[in-house]
Chain A
Amino acid sequence: MALYENPEIPEGINVTAEHPLKDFVLLLLAATGILLAAVLALSLLAGYLVRYVPFAQEQALASRLSTEFQRANSDASKQKQAYLQALANRLAANMDLPKDMSITVHYSTDKTVNAMATLGGNIIIFQGLIDVLPNENALAMVMAHEIAHVRNRHPIVALGRGFAVLLAISSLTGVGDELMQRWVSNMSMITLFSFSRSQEHEADVDALQALLKTYGHVEGAAAFFEYAAKQPRLELTQLLSTHPGLEDRVAQIQQFAQEHDAAGKHELRALPDFIMLHEPQAPATATCD
């Protein structure tokens, strides 16, 4: 008769000897990576597709959403706004805007050192910005930069991207419904817009071209960036965090000047006196929260 016995079988043949946390961390990282890539792809796609929204639609959207643009309510403000609008029109004439596109400039008495472009060709210039600029040429540079954003449809691209990301996050996690609603239902999205470095660069180049065509030279264009570079960083983070390095931008402007300008001193236009005058500060506005 054959022998019968039950030897002990060593452990660990049917169980992988691997710490469960290791598997967990690896899988989590991989899943997060794929998720991020998907969200990024989605946002790029949305940003790409949204360019095909007609400008008229964008304007309609902006006027429906934006009840917050400050109205010029005093004579002084109206005068300033008219001056800014005229400047914008002069620059826009040299920027090949598409036929259906129009620029609307809004003036804000707010002390914020900023200017911004938002949906529907709306540009907001703050008194705070005007106060730090030495001449019209510097203001024109900032203005042309914002017009270039509008011309290149940057605000609606940013809107599309932001919307796609938010949609993805809220549908994936089931959280953020409130955020969604708040975002869609009011215009606080102005402050959510942030343009990428390449978009800022594109806008800078276009603005320089416009300045060259309008004034025949680009002298004074770097004034705002030179001013901003001298400021302590903290105060300006809001405005400049997404902008290319200030030194880079100044250098870019100087290089452009060397390539396109005739040598010698150019005449700079002064800002009109009335624009430097302050009126009593309006109560804090929602656009600068």
Chain B
Amino acid sequence: MILSNIETIPGRTVVKHLGLVNGSTVRAKHAGRDIMASLKNIFGGELKGYTELLQESREEAISRMVEQAESIGANAVVNVRFSTSSIAAGAAELFAYGTAVVLE
């Protein structure tokens, strides 16, 4: 599965466009991490726990989008976009979407 966030896959020809596919997930870190994060909020710096949380979730969102694309017979997703929103304190929703295509 090839992903790109431009209209095409460079060097390949798209033979079929299969429309919108998307993947999303909601994740939470456990309370201990939440407490550490609120401490970090005092001193500043990277919230490692949350970086990890968002990264994991984003990967899951991508894999769900890829699953959708595969299920309709695509072998690439172009024009991929991400959106992140916080749904509850300490929980993040990650969303990935793009257009499934069949490459030559």
Interface residues of A, Cβ cutoff 8 Å to B: 2-10, 13-14
Question: Do A2 and B64 form a contact, CB below 8 Å, given A7-B72, A13-B23?
Answer: no
Q: Which chain B residues border A3 with CB–CB below 8 Å? A: 15-17
Contact indicator A7/B18 (Cβ below 8 Å): yes
Interface: B71 (CB within 8 A): yes
Main SS at interface, chain B: strand
Apart from A13-B71, A14-B68, what 7 extra A-B contacts exist at CB < 8 Å?
A2-B17, A4-B19, A6-B19, A7-B73, A9-B71, A9-B72, A13-B23
Contact indicator B24/A14 (Cβ below 8 Å): yes
Of all A-B residue pairs in the complex, the 6 with the closest CB atoms, nearest first, are A6-B19, A7-B72, A3-B16, A4-B17, A9-B68, A13-B67
Q: Which chain A residues border B19 with CB–CB below 8 Å? A: 4-7
Q: Which chain B residues border A7 with CB–CB below 8 Å? A: 18-19, 72-73
Question: Chain B CB within 10 Å — which of A4, A7, A8 has the most?
Answer: A7
Complexed CA–CA distance, A38 and B16 (Å): 59
A–B Cβ pairs within 8 angstroms, 21 of them: A2-B14, A2-B15, A2-B17, A3-B15, A3-B16, A4-B17, A4-B19, A5-B17, A5-B18, A6-B18, A7-B18, A7-B72, A9-B72, A10-B68, A10-B71, A13-B64, A13-B67, A13-B68, A13-B71, A14-B22, A14-B24
Interface residues of B, Cβ cutoff 8 Å to A: 14-25, 64, 67-68, 71-73
Closest to B23 in A: A14
Complexed CA–CA distance, A7 and B101 (Å): 11
Closest to A6 in B: B19
Contact indicator A5/B64 (Cβ below 8 Å): no
CB distance from A172 to the nearest CB of B (A): 15
Complexed CA–CA distance, A8 and B71 (Å): 9
Q: Which chain A residues border B14 with CB–CB below 8 Å? A: 2
Question: Do A2 and B16 form a contact, CB below 8 Å, given A13-B23, A14-B24?
Answer: yes
CB distance from B97 to the nearest CB of A (A): 11
Q: Which chain A residues border B21 with CB–CB below 8 Å? A: 9
CB distance from A10 to the nearest CB of B (A): 5
CB distance from A103 to the nearest CB of B (A): 48
Question: Chain B CB within 10 Å — which of A2, A3, A13 has the most?
Answer: A13
Q: Which chain B residues border A2 with CB–CB below 8 Å? A: 14-17
Complexed CA–CA distance, A7 and B16 (Å): 11
Complexed CA–CA distance, A10 and B72 (Å): 8
CB distance from A6 to the nearest CB of B (A): 4
Closest to B18 in A: A7
Closest to A10 in B: B71
Complexed CA–CA distance, A13 and B67 (Å): 7
Q: Which chain B residues border A5 with CB–CB below 8 Å? A: 16-19
Q: Which chain A residues border B22 with CB–CB below 8 Å? A: 14
